[in-house]
Every structure is written in C-alpha cells, then in structure tokens.
Amino acid sequence: MKIKFIWPGETKESCLSKLESNYIKKISRFIKCEKIVFKSRFNEEKSKQIAFEEGEIEKRCGNLNNLILLTEKGKEMDSFEFAKFLEKKLNFQSDDIVFAVGGENGFSENFFKKGMFLLSLSKMTFTHEFARIILLEQVYRAFTIIKNIKYQR
C-alpha cells in the first residue's frame, strides 16, 4: 500500500516546489509515496481543460472510492481528526490512498458527485500550488500524530 498524490503540471514556483520535495521525502519515511504529475491541456478553453484533468485523475486513481479530492467545498477537519481519518484508511483499506489536487481552474460540480471523498483544507481559497504543499504538510503532520513522534520542522 502506498500514498499517491496526483495533480496537473509540476509546481512552478521554485520555493513551493522545493517544499514539496522536502515533505514528500518526510512522508516517505512512514509510507511508500508516489507523486503523479500529468501534463494538462493548458491551451484549451477552461471547461475542456477541467474535463481533461478530471479524466486524467479518474484514470490514474483506479477506484474512485479510494480518491480524496481537495476542494474548499469538502469536509473540514482539524489536524487530529485528519490523522484519525488517515489512520483508519491505513488500517482498513487495502488499496492505495490517493489524494488529488486540481489545477488553477479547480473541478466541475459534476465531478464532485462521483463518490470520492471531498476534503477541505480551509474555507479560504488557496492557490492550487499552495494547496499541494499544505496537503503534504498535513499528511506529514498526521503521521507524526499517528506514530506519536516529534514534528520535525
């Protein structure tokens, strides 16, 4: 079992990209961890681009029941609740755990109805690149809570 992170396009902002690598390295100490970046169709019109990205995520996650999709319309949890949520998946799910963050245009309302879990990091709108880093930081934080070890900055 591993954790997969899926999103369209590499993180462009160099600082955020560096933080991303650092957190993936940190998470990898606890569980096998894979980042799946696919090329989006950045030149197409917005709705087509979103549809393409949704298709790519769906294709790559295997079973939509294992997918945790990030959207500010999702369920909010505090860091302890999120750790419990993750721990339960680690204990009772045999398939990979898959997180997906959208591109700068987000997702369509229809995509949300497909049965995946919707997770919100905040009521506030973050840039999609920020959302990636905060997700990774929270997954790392969750493992430090689950394993009861010190959070390393």
Residues making up the annotated binding site for S-adenosyl-L-methionine are 70, 102, 121-126
Comparison of 60 and 141: residue with beta carbon closer to a second copy: 141
- Would you tell me how many other CB atoms lie within 10 Å of the CB of residue 92? 7
Please identify which residue in the block is written with the tokens 């905040």: 122
Q: 3-state DSSP call for residue 91?
A: helix
Comparison of 30 and 85: residue with beta carbon closer to a second copy: 85
Shortest distance (Å) from residue 28 CB to a second copy: 20
Q: How many residues does the chain have?
A: 153
Which pair of structure tokens corresponds to residue 84? Answer: 């419990």
Which pair of structure tokens corresponds to residue 142? Answer: 């969750």
Q: Among 77, 90, 118, 146, which residue interacts with a second copy (rule: CB under 8 A)?
A: 77
Query: Residue 18, interface with a second copy (CB under 8 A)?
Result: yes
Task: Select from 16-24, 39-47, 91-99, 106-114 the region that touches a second copy (CB under 8 A).
Answer: 16-24
Q: 3-state DSSP call for residue 26?
A: helix
How far is residue 153's CA from residue 146's CA, in Å, rounded to a whole number?
17
Binding site for a second copy (CB under 8 A): 13, 15-16, 18-19, 72, 76-79, 81-82, 121-127, 130, 134, 137-138, 141, 153
